[in-house]
Amino acid sequence: MMNQLTHFNEQGRAKMVDVSDKPVSTRTAVAKTSIKVNEVIHDQIINHKNKKGDVLGVAQVAGIMAAKNTSQIIPMCHPLNLSGIDISFEWDTSDGYEIFITCTVKTTGQTGVEMEALTGASATALTIYDMTKAVDKSMIIGPTYLEHKSGGKNGDFNR
């Protein structure tokens, strides 16, 4: 049984998987999350009134930095040379104030970028929380999930 688990060595201890024999392919992942805020925070964000600065601009940069540095905080992730990261925002005010965050990450390599996309989306939401928590600490983040991935031997995934 232990030899079937790719993230364990012969001693049953965790290891980073060797991907050197895997073929190089173009890989893309799209992760999504959201954060529910109150009306005051919504107004501050859309009208650029937050005392800490441009909330979405800073959050976008934080998400990009997080995606680039995923292997430094998720122990078994491979350091990857990412070829593109895009973070976008969409407000939904039909039932309160919720901002939807989409993080798209792309690379050409031997392993996928799902964790980078999920980390980027999460850090973006956490940065929005950090920059606006002085107004209201009851914000709700999530759900956070993988929407799509392409490339690699397991093929495409679409939620």
- Residue 113 and residue 107 in contact, taking contact as beta carbons nearer than 8 Å: yes
Would you please indicate which residues are annotated as catalytic (active-site) residues? 130
- Residue 40 and residue 136 in contact, taking contact as beta carbons nearer than 8 Å: yes
Q: Give the C-alpha separation, 156 to 152, whole Å.
A: 8
Which conformational region is residue 153 in: left (phi greater than 0), alpha (psi within -120 to 50 degrees), or beta? alpha
